[in-house]
């Protein structure tokens, strides 16, 4: 089955892509570039890096800009999936949804209208186990956004490794934070993964934070051999 992956460049959509590619044929990535940093649906930090990630993966990218307003961004997502269907003949869409019924049901409705299958290979999976899978499979993932107490700027740019996972799981029991950021507590950017033919090297970056909110912005990056 020809599939397009809804791709934010973060850990969940990249892991979903890998799982999908093990079973079916992934033919394109679909990205919504939201102008709204508080988008209800779409991961925002470093969304521009998706072009470089697509190049590293050797997959075409269908990219649609959205203002990021609550219902308009869903119409823009529908446009993007419709474009992918017409340009790359996708028969199904893959998402990185884990827990959010809000996100999953909206994408399901769009797929139903467009008559394409909708796969959620990470659905309801244990969040700690998902993080551990990333480490086991040699994904290089950095924390590119923090949006909840008690996270602070010291977390920005950190690579997800066993020590970081242990600290996130500790925060779950203490503060109720979802360790994989399902409640939007953290956002991530993938710099390398098994399917990447090249990896991403960050040349320049900046950090902006205020209290428990902050982003690690990749300013310049390039692909280098693995």
Partner 1 sequence: MILVVDMNWKRDSLALNEFVSPIVSVVQSLEECEVKHFLDIETMELEGYNKIILSGTMLKDHATLKQVDKFNWISTFDKPIMGICAGMQTIALVFGVTLTNCLQIGITEISTLKQNPIFQSDFRAYTLHNYSVAPSQTFETLAESTKCIQAIKHKQKNIYGVLFHPEVRNQEILKRFILLKQ
Residues that bind partner 1 (CB under 8 A): 19-20, 23-24, 94, 101, 105-106, 108-109, 111-112, 115-126
State the nearest-atom distance from the C-beta of 120 to partner 1, in Å. 5
Q: 12 near 20, Cβ under 8 Å?
A: no
Which CB sits closer to partner 1, 49 or 122?
122
Of the candidates 63, 54, 48, 52, which has an alpha carbon nearest to the alpha carbon of residue 26?
54
Min dist CB 3 to partner 1, Å, is 8
**Owner of token pair 């242990």:** 166
Residue 111 neighbours by CB under 8 Å, 6+ apart: 81, 92, 93, 117, 118
- Edge-first strand order for the sheet with 140-147 is 186-192, 140-147, 213-225, 198-210
Choose between 26 and 49: whose C-beta lies nearer to partner 1.
26
Pick between residue 20 and residue 221 the one whose CB is nearest to partner 1: 20
Compute the least distance from the CB of residue 109 to partner 1, in Å: 5
Q: Distance (Å, rounded) from C-alpha 194 to C-alpha 94? A: 18
Q: How far is the CB of 144 from partner 1 (least distance, A)?
A: 26
Q: What does the block give as tokens for 174?
A: 């203490």
Query: 106 or 158: whose CB is closer to partner 1?
Result: 106
To the nearest whole angstrom, how small is the minimum distance from the Cβ of residue 199 to partner 1? 26
Nearer to partner 1, 40 or 117 (CB): 117
């Amino acid at each position: 089955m020809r599939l397009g992956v809804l791709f934010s460049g973060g850990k969940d959509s990249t892991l979903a892509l890998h799982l999908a590619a093990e079973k079916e044929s992934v033919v394109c990535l679909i990205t919504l570039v939201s102008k709204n940093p508080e988008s209800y649906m779409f991961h925002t930090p470093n969304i521009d890096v998706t072009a470089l990630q697509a190049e590293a993966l050797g997959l075409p990218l269908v990219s649609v800009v959205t203002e990021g307003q609550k219902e308009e961004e869903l119409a823009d997502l529908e446009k993007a999936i419709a474009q992918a269907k017409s340009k790359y003949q996708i028969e199904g869409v893959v998402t990185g949804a884990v827990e959010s019924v809000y996100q999953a049901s909206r994408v399901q409705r769009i797929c139903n209208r467009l008559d394409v299958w909708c796969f959620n290979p990470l659905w309801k999976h244990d969040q700690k186990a998902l993080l551990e899978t990333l480490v086991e499979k040699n994904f290089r993932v950095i924390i590119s956004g923090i949006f909840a107490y008690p996270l602070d700027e010291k977390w920005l740019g950190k690579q997800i490794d066993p020590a970081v996972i242990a600290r996130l799981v500790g925060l779950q029991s203490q503060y109720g934070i979802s360790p994989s950021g399902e409640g939007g507590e953290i956002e991530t950017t993938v710099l390398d993964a098994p399917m990447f033919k090249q990896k991403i090297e960050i040349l320049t970056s900046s950090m902006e934070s205020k209290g428990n909110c902050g982003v690690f912005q990749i300013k310049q990056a390039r692909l280098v051999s693995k």
